Amino acid sequence: MAYVYVIKNPSYNDVCLCAWTSVLYPGTPVVYETRFGLDLGIVVGSAPVPDRKYVPGNAEVMGACLHFGSENDVLMPEEGSEEDHQCSYCPGCQIVKEPELMRVDGDVSFLDHLATPEEMARYEANTAKEDDALRICREKVLKHRLNMKLVTSHFLLGEPKVIFFFTAEERVDFRDLVKDLVSVFRMRIELRQIGVRDESRLIGGLSVCGRDYCCHCITSQLDPVTIKMAKEQNLSLNSMKISGPCGRLLCCLAYEYEYYVEEKSLCPPEGTRLRIGHDLWKVTEVNILSHKLTILGSEGRTAFIPVEEVSFNDESGFWEIDEDYIEEYLT
């Protein structure tokens, strides 16, 4: 049994789960094992534990806070009343929860130790040297005429080692470059090639929505995003509108994709014929957000029907509209 925390590396923005035997609070510097070796990380908070399991088709959104505006716009409880402030139970507000003991298994590893003042001083000194190291490496890249773009550099805390992250359109032979860098820094050199999405994750910035890149501030797991996700959500297929600054499809296209797939499975697909009286109407649009179907009849007539009034008849094998709704609609 141990406490599990979310640890973020401030240098190359990796996020992982690590366990520790005592209570730690956000902002605590720790030393943990990364894929590059021992390095410094910051405790973001205790590991999130879902209160209940997700049920497919559940439309109860528990995301962003619903209380927009300034603090003056928030309704405060009357004096003398025992009613809590509304944000104390708002599902969207981020409430810091106390860590809880849990059984540690799977890929969760233990922290190596808490960072000491000497290690923090060494980390600050290493951070101050990274800009100069990047400048020197860029000069060496130009010298060797390599087709590569340096993104950032990082001095590892646990051992004398410097890592250079770079992007390139093809494989780069940097053996002579490494020998040159070793003669300058007198320590281990590692050059790691990354993709353009990883470049955005490392550097950060503002996306088209005006907020920080999702890959930089929310998650370090770059899941594949396909054009099918945009089609399923009836979004514009203009690449300029659904692509991020990295040139790849927006990460947020994957956030609601599964929800749209679940909801659309309960609705007749576009092109389905529905009978109303003696006429056949064609489904031209399925609006998941408004839960309405747009249907097109003869002579160009258009109507809107709630999704709840349409169901699939297993016996006939057709989508049908509720008879009571049809009677009300025709009258």
User: What pLDDT shows up at residue 139?
Assistant: 95
The torsion angle over the Cα atoms of residues 277, 283, 284 and 286, rounded to 10 degrees, is: 130
- Confidence class for position 55, pLDDT limits 50, 70, 90: low
Taking only the tens place, the pLDDT of each residue in 220-240 is 677 789 999 999 898 888 888
Task: Identify the residue whose tokens are 């399925």.
Answer: 286
pLDDT top residue among 163 and 80: 163
pLDDT at 185: 94
What is the per-residue pLDDT for 73?
46
In this predicted structure, the answer to whether residue 87 has a pLDDT above a threshold of 90 is no
At residue 71, the pLDDT reads 45
pLDDT for res 51: 56
Yes or no: say if 134 and 153 are a contact pair by the CB < 8 Å rule.
yes
Q: How many residues does the chain have?
A: 331
Per-residue model confidence (pLDDT) at position 183: 94
Question: Percent of the chain, pLDDT > 70?
Answer: 85
Instruction: Answer yes or no: are the C-beta atoms of 297 and 303 closer than 8 Å.
Output: yes
**pLDDT for res 167:** 93
Q: What is the mean pLDDT of residues 50-54?
A: 57
Beta strands in the chain (DSSP E): 2-8, 15-20, 29-33, 38-46, 101-102, 109-110, 113-114, 149-155, 161-167, 188-193, 273-276, 279-287, 292-296, 302-306, 310-313, 318-321
Average pLDDT, the chain: 84
Question: Could you say which DSSP state residue 160 is in?
Answer: S
Range with the poorest average pLDDT among 70-74, 294-298, 310-314, 316-320: 70-74
Which is higher by pLDDT, 37 or 216?
A: 37
Higher pLDDT, 94 or 324: 324
End-to-end CA distance of the chain: 66
Q: How large is the C-alpha radius of gyration of the chain?
A: 28
pLDDT above 60 for 104: yes
| Average pLDDT of the residues in 274-292 | 89
Q: Is pTM, for the whole model, over 0.85?
A: no
3-39: b or e for each residue (b if 16 or more CB lie within 10 Å)? bbbbbbbebbbbebebbbeeebeeebbbbbbbebeeb
